[in-house]
């Protein structure tokens, strides 16, 4: 099955290569675990989206040794928006999407199919 933009939505395989820039690497890649590349890519897009909104990554690396990552892992990305004084500037709906994209547990992370159905992408178009 393909997404509306033609990207395959099922791969059926796991990866074990460490690839990507530190900011964008999903925790499972950093921890050198086998990972689903689709779920890891959703994490990376979530980080890119966060940077577009704030002009800064939420942490240096998704590693338990990184204090910023530990903060996000414990409190969630919504807490970062609040701590940075952006809670009122970023809609609750958008914060929800990002919190689901940046879920540390890849099995709990939102899927591409769920992203397409998220209220952020269901708003009327101009």
Q: Output the 3-class SS for the chain.
A: CECCCCCECCCCCCECCCCCCCCCCCHHHHCCCCECHHHHHHHHHHHHHHHHHHCCCCCCCCCCCCHHHHHHHHHCHHHHHHHCCCCCCCCHHHHHHHHHHCCCCCCCCCCHHHHHHCHHHCCCCC
Determine what percent of the chain is predicted with pLDDT higher than 70: 83
Domain 27-121 belongs to what architecture? Orthogonal Bundle (1.10)
Average pLDDT over residues 27-46: 94
9-18, 19-28, 107-116 — which is least confidently predicted? 9-18
pLDDT reading at 11 higher than 90: no
Average pLDDT over residues 82-96: 94
pTM: 0.83
Choice between 125 and 24, residue whose per-residue pLDDT is larger: 24
């Amino acid at each position: 099955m393909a997404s509306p933009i033609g990207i395959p939505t099922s791969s059926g395989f796991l990866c074990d290569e460490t690839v990507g820039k530190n900011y964008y690497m999903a925790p499972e890649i950093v921890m050198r675990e086998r990972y689903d590349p689709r779920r890891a890519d959703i994490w990376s897009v979530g980080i890119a989206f966060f940077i577009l909104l704030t002009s800064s990554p939420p942490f240096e690396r998704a590693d338990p040794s990184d204090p910023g990552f530990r903060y996000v892992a414990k409190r969630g990305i919504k807490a970062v928006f609040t701590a940075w004084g952006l809670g009122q500037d970023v809609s609750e709906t958008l914060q929800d999407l990002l919190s689901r994209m940046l879920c540390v547990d890849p099995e709990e992370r939102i899927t591409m199919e769920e992203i397409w159905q998220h209220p952020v992408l269901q708003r009327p178009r101009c």
